[in-house]
Chains A and B, each alone.
Chain A
Amino acid sequence: MRINGEDKNEYIGQSIQEMLEKEAYQLTRVAVERNGEIVPRSSYSQVLLQAEDVLEVVSFVGGG
């Protein structure tokens, strides 16, 4: 399983929510792409990460 280009197999079987919290993301500032699709925020706690998943977590910073 890869997140932002890095192997993160320790999160296999855990929810996206658990992964985000352990990786210290601020949940209100991210968008999560999983295998080409955006993961709805309401399902972060239900979607369990699989070995073949490729994720990108976009974490927004301030300024515009």
Chain B
Amino acid sequence: MWAGADEKKLRQDVDRCLKERHGEENQGLLYAAHIAVAGAGGMGSHAAVALARAGVGHIHLIDFDRVDLSNLHRQQYFMRHVGMMKVEALKSILLEINPFLEISISECRVTEENCGELLGDADIVIEAFDDPNAKAMLVNELLERFPEKKVIACSGMAGYSDANKITTRKITENFYICGDGRAGVETEGTLFASRVSVCAGHAANKAIQLILDQK
């Protein structure tokens, strides 16, 4: 996108802007972090954008699906992405925000069999699936097999009731859950970008806090 001297200059400028806003030591920790986002729908796409804006250095996006026109009401995609694999589309969005991040993608479903291979390297995993069985499977699998890994899961962001019911709760030393814990799409019948992105903001904020609390 930018050749030679221009790219070097842009990299320095981006680095300077991030360090000015976040602090130099903080930015070093954010650059070094590896975060996996499992699911690139409403939750995952909004959370990933927040992480990219923060300059999280290594972001792994995992999803099996393509962008559909029906996703645009709440997910971080645009008309030009319809038909693309979500992880490809989201990667391109993240690189528009910061072209110097390392964004890796996996086009697949996360299963009990492949989750170790897919997520073993990540310091923090954000669970951003929509199916409650898949959410529980991933959380249990990770916490049983990787007790040192930090897991941020999401449950309860459907509908349009007060957004301030959405919280971040610590369940165990390495397990956090964001959401209101109740409002599922199966009971509410609706999902809005406004409420889903509040929950995604909680998850991304907790991830950033966990990274910066290493100081």
Contact = CB atoms under 8 A, between A and B. Distances in A.
B130 A63 contact: yes
B182 A28 contact: no
A62 B132 contact: yes
A64 B43 contact: yes
B171 A56 contact: yes
Contacts, number: 89
Contact of A64 (B41, B137, B182): B41
A24 interface: no
A28 B143 CA distance: 15
Instruction: Count chain A CB atoms within 10 A of each CB in B44, B128, B131 and give the residue with the most.
Output: B131
B170 to A, nearest CB: 10
Given A63-B184, A64-B130, A38 B177 contact: no
Contact of B158 (A29, A60, A62): A62
B31 interface: no
A60 B132 contact: yes
Interface in A10-64: 26, 28-31, 33, 36-38, 40-41, 56, 58-64
Nearest to B75: A64
Interface in B171-215: 171-173, 175, 177, 179, 181-188, 191, 196
B175 A33 contact: yes
B132 A29 contact: yes
Main secondary structure of the interface of A (DSSP, over half): mixed
Contact of B187 (A28, A30, A61): A61
B173 A36 contact: yes
A62 B185 contact: yes
B132 A61 contact: yes
Interface string B145-183: 000000001111110000000000001110101010111
Interface string B85-129: 000000000000000000000000000000000000000000011
A64 B156 contact: no
A58 B184 contact: no
A62 B137 CA distance: 13
A45 to B, nearest CB: 15
Contact of A31 (B139, B179, B182): B139
A27 B140 CA distance: 12
Given A31-B143, A58-B177, A61-B155, A38 B172 contact: yes
12 contacts: A28-B137, A29-B132, A29-B135, A29-B136, A61-B182, A62-B131, A63-B158, A64-B43, A64-B128, A64-B129, A64-B130, A64-B196
Interface of A: 26, 28-31, 33, 36-38, 40-41, 56, 58-64
